[in-house]
Chain A
Amino acid sequence: MGSLTKADMAERLYEDLGLNKREAKEMVEAFFDEIRMSLAENEQVKLSGFGNFDLRDKRERPGRNPKTGEEVPISARRVVTFRPGQKLKERVEAYEGD
C-alpha cells in the first residue's frame, strides 16, 4: 500500500499545472503551513468537499502511567479533530478494501 507525500503532491502540480518544480514544492509547503498556522491561532479550517479541521479544548482528567500504575493527571489541552466532508466520505465508503 502506497503513501501520498508532499513530494508526490508537488510532482502533480508540476505535471498537471505546469508550475515549475520550485513553485510546486513551495505551494505544497505553503498549503499545509497556512492550515497549520490557522489551527495554531485557534481558528477552525473548513475545506468544503474535503473536510473540516476543528479545535477542541479538553479539561484536565485523571490518568495513569501505564508502566508504573501511578496516578498522573492528564493536563487540560487543546486538540485538533478532523471531520471528513460529504464528498470525501462518499468516495472512501466506495473503497472495497484489498
Chain B
Amino acid sequence: MTKSELIERLIDQNEQLSIKDVELAVKTMLDHMTESLSQGDRIEIRGFGSFSLHFREPRVGRNPKTGDSVSLDAKYVPHFKPGKELREQVNDSLKNERS
C-alpha cells in the first residue's frame, strides 16, 4: 500500500470529508510525526507501536567507490518498535497461511 492508496482507502471511509481534507490530513499527520522525531520526541501509538531515536556513535567509514576513509559524525536514526497488537496480527497472518 502506497501513500496514495492509503489516502484512497481513507476517502472511501470518510464520505463526509472532501478529498482535499483527507489528503491534507495524511500530510499533516506524517509531518507532525517527522517533526516530533526530529525534535527528539518519541511517538507512542497504542496497539500500533512506538517510534524513538537510536544514537549512532561517530565512526570511520569508507567511500565504497574510492576506498578512502571518511569520518562520520555521531547521529540519531529513527527506530520503530511494533506494539503487541500489531506484532500478533502480523504473526497470525503467517500462521493462517500455513493452516
Please report A residues at the B interface, Cβ cutoff 8 Å. Answer: 1-6, 8-9, 12-13, 16-17, 19, 23, 26-28, 30-32, 34-36, 38-51, 53, 55, 57, 76-82, 84, 87-89, 91-95, 97-98
Contacts and interface: CB of A to CB of B under 8 A. Distances in A.
Interface of B: 1-3, 6, 9-10, 13-14, 16-17, 21-22, 24-26, 28-30, 32-49, 51, 53, 55, 75-80, 82, 85-87, 89-94, 97
A91 B34 contact: yes
Given A48-B2, A97-B76, A4 B42 contact: yes
Contacts of A98: 40
B93 A6 contact: no
Given A16-B28, A34-B9, 4 more contacts: A9-B29, A36-B48, A46-B2, A80-B87
B86 A13 contact: no
Given A5-B44, A87-B34, A79 B87 contact: yes
B26 A31 contact: yes
B10 A27 contact: yes
B29 A28 contact: yes
B30 A50 contact: yes
A95 B38 contact: yes
A30 B10 contact: yes
Nearest to A26: B14
A78 B94 contact: yes
A45 B78 contact: no
